Structure formats: C-alpha cells, structure tokens
Structure 1
C-alpha cells in the first residue's frame, strides 16, 4: 500500500491521541483484572488498587529540565 506524505502526516498527528487512549485502556484493564497500577500524581508515586484505595509509595525528585541538544550523563 503506497502512502502519500499527506496521509503519513495525518496519521502521525493522531499518535498522541491514540497513545493516550491506549494508556487509559491499559490502566482500566489492569484494575479490572485485579492488578494494581502505579501513577505519578503531583510528584508523588502512588499505587492504586482495584478497590479504589491508594497507597503513597514515595516522593519523586523534581523533573530535570533539558534543552534541545543538551547531553546528560547518567550515573
């Protein structure tokens, strides 16, 4: 199937929407199967259980702001 540049750009524009939907589906599917999920809320890692209870696991370090082209060394 040959795709034009326009059709590729159209599909690429929708990647964030599709990714968001997939993450939400995985979240609810995990809870529905009895598993817990981990999320970050306001800089805190939280475990959410299928019954709706939440357990705060840890305070996360602030995000590192980087600029385009900046190199970081991971220790």
Structure 2
C-alpha cells in the first residue's frame, strides 16, 4: 500500500498533463499559462503568444480570474 501511495504525485501530474492536451485537442481552445516569467497563450497547434512579462515576486491566489486587456 505504501508503494502505491508514493506513486500518487507522479500519477496526478501525468493525469493533469493528459487533461491539458486532451482539452486542447478536443476544443481547439487556447490556454493561458505562466512559463519562464511570462504569461503565454498556447494554441491547439502548439504555437504560443507572449501576453506579458511577469514580475518575479508576483503572486496570484489560486482561483483568481484574470482578464486580458485588448
């Protein structure tokens, strides 16, 4: 049982990545993600657009809804 419990973090991470990929493939939607100090919009075809650079000490509370300013 302890061996199985040790696998939970790895399985959860893998499930999250698979859900992300599946969502992009099925809906054709874009996702917004923080990557290397930048907020990027990723598209279904794998391309991405940098929306803005983030401050190093910028913290966002989980569940915060962000809106893009056009």
Structures share fold, TM-score greater than 0.5: yes
Which TM-score band applies after superposition, normalised by the shorter structure?
0.5 to 0.7
Corresponding position of 1:54:
48
Rg (Cα) greater in structure: 1
Unaligned ranges ≥5, structure 1:
1-6, 65-75
Number of aligned residues: 57
1:14 to 7, 10, 29: 7
| Structure 2 residue corresponding to 1:37, chosen from 31, 39, 42 | 31
- The normalised TM-score by structure 2 is 0.64
Superposition TM-score, scaled by structure 1 size: 0.61
When the two chains are superposed, the root-mean-square deviation of aligned CA atoms in Å is: 1.9
The answer as to whether partners of 1:30 and 1:37 remain within 8 angstroms in 2 is no
Deviation at residue 63 of structure 1 after TM alignment: 4.6
